[in-house]
A and B are shown apart, each in its own frame.
Chain A
Amino acid sequence: MNYADPLYIAVAVFIVYIIISTFRIFLGPTAADRTVAFDTINTLVVASMIGLGAAMWEVLFIDIAIVYAILSFVTTLFIAKYLEEGDRG
């Protein structure tokens, strides 16, 4: 048994969670529901990137996770701004 095995298992479960959340993007009745699912997927991707970075000992993955978190936040803000003023639905 390797020391990094629990991290790999956790990342595998995270990928299953991401696939389950994707269904809400297709199902969601309003655009806001889809945005919620999108935001959840972003957080899960950041968490699994951090786990993979620690499992493979690559500090670069964690730097990219920080940048991804901030960029996804900006994307969410832009989508929310668009929903407030743009087309309804």
Chain B
Amino acid sequence: MIVITMVSVFLAISLVFNGLGVIGLHRFPDVYTRLHAATKCTTFGSIFMTFAVMTYSGGMYYWSNDAKYLNMALHTFAAMIALLITNPTGAHAIARAAHKMGVIPRYAVKDELKEAK
């Protein structure tokens, strides 16, 4: 039973932060701030989703000793590593492309990259 409670808590955290990311995508004024919300919140939320699945399959493995549940937990761990590496790198690529396209950061107090060019 405690496993199901933990899974529910992890899923709730995941849903709250993913929701914040999606709201931030609509609320912020320009590309860079939207990237902040989208990258950080969805990465964190998805990591908690993988935590929930790992707890769930780990609990099932503890009860039944069937290797297929352990296999699922390990594959979920590999998916978490893939998300953790690819997500910030993709965000960096988009930010760089936006700056080279000439999108100005709105309300910015200072832009040292533009001064350097």
The residues of A with any CB-CB pair to B shorter than 8 Å are 3, 6-7, 9-10, 13-14, 17, 20-21, 23-24, 30-33, 35-37, 39-40, 43-44, 46-47, 50-51, 53-54, 57, 59, 62-63, 65-66, 69-70, 72-73, 76-77, 79-81, 83-84, 88
The one of B31, B39, B57, B75 in contact with A32, judged by C-beta atoms closer than 8 angstroms, is B31
Contacts of B100 in A (CB 8 A): 83-84
Q: Is the CB of A59 within 8 A of B7?
A: no
The one of B18, B39, B71, B91 in contact with A17, judged by C-beta atoms closer than 8 angstroms, is B18
> Cα distance A76–B96 when bound, in Å?
12
The residues of B with any CB-CB pair to A shorter than 8 Å are 4, 7-8, 11, 14-15, 18-19, 21-22, 25-26, 31, 34-35, 38-39, 42-43, 45-46, 49-50, 52-53, 56-57, 68, 71-72, 75-76, 78-79, 82-83, 86-87, 89-91, 93-94, 96-98, 100-103
- Given the contacts A14-B18, A21-B22, A40-B42, A62 and B75 also touching, CB distance less than 8 Å: yes
